[in-house]
């Protein structure tokens, strides 16, 4: 399934550490955790955006 998510709704980016990348996004019912193929975050999000939304 494909999702369309506004960047402004992304709360956290979590790069893979031996599994899938994931992101946490705001939605109508609260929050969603979305699994992404490993490397997706580094490929599609700028370094600045990744730093702003990093899981710390």
pLDDT tens digits along 1-56: 676 889 999 999 999 989 999 999 999 899 999 999 999 999 999 999 999 999 76
Range of the domain at 42: 8-52
Domain count, the chain: 1
Report residue 28 as tokens. Answer: 């109508």
Is the full-model pTM beyond 0.85? no
The answer to whether residue 2 is domain-embedded is: no
Distance CA 24, CA 14 (A): 8
The answer to whether residue 19 is domain-embedded is: yes
3 contacts: CB under 8 Å, gap ≥ 6: 32, 34
Contact 25, 5 (CB under 8 A): yes
The answer to whether residue 3 is domain-embedded is: no
Q: What is the pLDDT of residue 3?
A: 67
């Amino acid at each position: 399934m494909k999702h369309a998510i506004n960047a402004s709704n992304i709360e956290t980016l979590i790069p893979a550490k031996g599994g899938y990348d994931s992101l946490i996004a705001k939605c109508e019912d609260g929050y969603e955790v979305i699994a992404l193929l490993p490397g997706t975050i580094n490929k599609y999000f700028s370094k600045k955006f990744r730093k702003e939304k990093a899981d710390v």
